[in-house]
Chains A and B, each alone.
Chain A
Amino acid sequence: MAFVTVDISKRFGKMDVLRDVRFTVEENEFLVIVGPTGCGKTTIANIIAGVEPCTSGAVTIRGERVDPKKHNLSFVFQEPSCVPWKTLINDVLMGPEIKNTPREQARRRASEIIELVGLAGFENYYSRQLSGGMQQRVAIARAYVTDPELLIMDEPFGHLDAQTRYLMQGEIMRIWQQEHKTVVFITNNIEEAVFLASRVIALSKLPATIRGVHDINLPHPRNLTDPEFLRLRRILTEQCEVTD
């Protein structure tokens, strides 16, 4: 049995956003879902995380219907999601607090993760004192600290400039290799998808359907100009094609 199964459809009023989107997620894989903007990728992420309901179908983890109160889920949002009135350390500790982790244990784990994401020393900073890239690192730390069964990231680098984005892609890979979790990563950037994924799912425009699924076996860290890399990029660009 697959770790996570997704079989969902979603309508908003008369409009079909997702039509029979069916796929599985294996334990500890880095699955990337790539597609044009506005194709419903965020809706998929929200449904998987239990933030939004689907119109029909279900998402299951180990056979059980997904439920944020039962399962250990984490989400990294596209927008900066740092809670502005909390210092960095307290923001990161929110998850463990909700899940009633003992304080000492939570603190130790938080320090570990804060160091892992490269923000050691910034524990008492407020989010307005941090750059966009740093705020996303806080969101990532917050997501990892609870030791999630499933970690969903919805275009987390969308609001960062191209170079900070490259930096963060490298960082995410480094973090993933150290803390192996099951990750579902959403993006519209095909280069980013090929750089990160162990498996890629290509989505069409609205209503979203799956156009292709690819296993990527290139070694990490991946070379953006490697011929195989560029070949995959080309295939995915065709499958996700958006006309103006």
Chain B
Amino acid sequence: MESKQKEKISSFIYNILFLIAVIAGWGMFAKWQNSPFFPLPGEIYDAFIQLSTEGDVEGVALSSHILWSLIRIFAGFGMACVTGIPLGLAMGLWPKLYNRTRAVIEPIRFIPPIAWIPMTIVLMVGFSRYAFLIWLGAFFPIFINTLLSVTRVNPVHINVVKVFGASRWYTIRNIVIPSVTPDIATGMRVGLGIAWMCIVAAEMIGGEMVGVGRLILKYAELMRLAEVIVGMLVIGIIGFIMNEIFIAVERYLFRWRAEISL
């Protein structure tokens, strides 16, 4: 439809204009501040080029930092899926299991990953520190969404096959699982987003010299804020891209659904 396309194009143009306005605004504000701690857009850009081509003060390229962070994220996220989805399904299908363990599970859910840092430092070393913290961030959204998805299965659909004499196993395989998959996917996407946001906290205590979180902290110590901002922007943009890819995959896999989530 013509008007939809027009709207898309004008949204795109407005986005570009808004971006330019923000950058210009930042530039003017920075000039006015005239402080070494408030880099100009141009300085940020230069820092970005520097980090991409020559690497940081230790010679590590930006791409390496990004790669290592991604590896850690997917390790923690992967573990969160492998633990969260089956546990969520089990607790959803057998509510008694959940109701009898809630008093312990729920308070733990509300402890932020950052609060776990002291224990992580003491009890774990190396890669496992990262993986654990990221697992903490991703696990609960995945677990809770999976659990709730089971309760949201439409009873009419279950009755449809029940009348035909379907076995419990058939019902789980052909009705429950397709019903819950979209909600699980949403939980996974939210979990991935939170995991990515934990990367700075994780790499703060990680110990390795590589990672976007580490990059930010390195330059923060050196008071070089242009590079810090580059790091921040990299984290934000990659998070955004991952989210968009996830949504696109969801939209494709679940074409049969009417709504699209945010």
Q: A: which residues have CB within 8 A of B?
A: 49-51, 67-70, 73-75, 77, 79, 81, 83-86, 94-95, 98-99, 126-128, 142, 146
Contacts and interface: CB of A to CB of B under 8 A. Distances in A.
A81 B160 contact: yes
Interface in B144-191: 156-157, 159-166, 170, 174-175, 178-179
B262 interface: no
B161 A94 contact: yes
Given A94-B164, A98-B166, A51 B255 contact: no
Contacts of B255: 126
Contacts of A49: 163
Contacts of B174: 94
A47 to B, nearest CB: 12
A85 B177 CA distance: 11
B165 A99 contact: yes
B156 to A, nearest CB: 5
Contacts of A126: 255-256
B156 A81 contact: yes
Query: How would you classify the secondary structure of chain B's contact residues: helix, strand, loop or mixed?
Result: helix
A51 B159 contact: yes
B257 interface: yes
A24 to B, nearest CB: 21
A68 B157 contact: no
A174 B178 CA distance: 35
A4 B192 CA distance: 56
Nearest to A81: B156
Given A98-B170, A126-B255, A51 B164 contact: no
A79 B157 CA distance: 10
20 contacts: A49-B163, A67-B165, A68-B164, A73-B163, A74-B164, A77-B156, A81-B156, A81-B157, A83-B157, A83-B178, A85-B178, A85-B179, A85-B256, A86-B256, A94-B160, A94-B161, A98-B165, A126-B256, A128-B256, A128-B258
Contacts of A79: 156
A49 B256 CA distance: 29
A122 to B, nearest CB: 14
Contacts of B156: 77, 79, 81
B176 to A, nearest CB: 12
B257 A75 contact: no
B167 to A, nearest CB: 8
A75 B163 contact: yes
Contacts of A128: 256-258
Nearest to A70: B165
Most chain B beta carbons < 10 A, residue from A68, A84, A86: A84
Given A79-B156, A83-B178, A126-B256, 18 more contacts: A49-B163, A50-B163, A51-B163, A68-B165, A69-B165, A70-B165, A73-B164, A74-B164, A75-B159, A77-B156, A81-B156, A83-B157, A84-B257, A85-B178, A99-B164, A99-B165, A128-B256, A128-B258
Nearest to B181: A85
A86 to B, nearest CB: 8
B98 to A, nearest CB: 25
Contacts of A51: 159, 162-163
Contacts of A77: 156, 159-160
A75 B160 contact: yes
Nearest to A69: B165
Interface in B234-262: 254-258
A50 B160 CA distance: 12
A50 B157 CA distance: 15
B160 A98 contact: no
Return the 5 tightest CB-CB contacts between A and B, nearest first. Answer: A69-B165, A68-B165, A75-B163, A98-B164, A126-B256
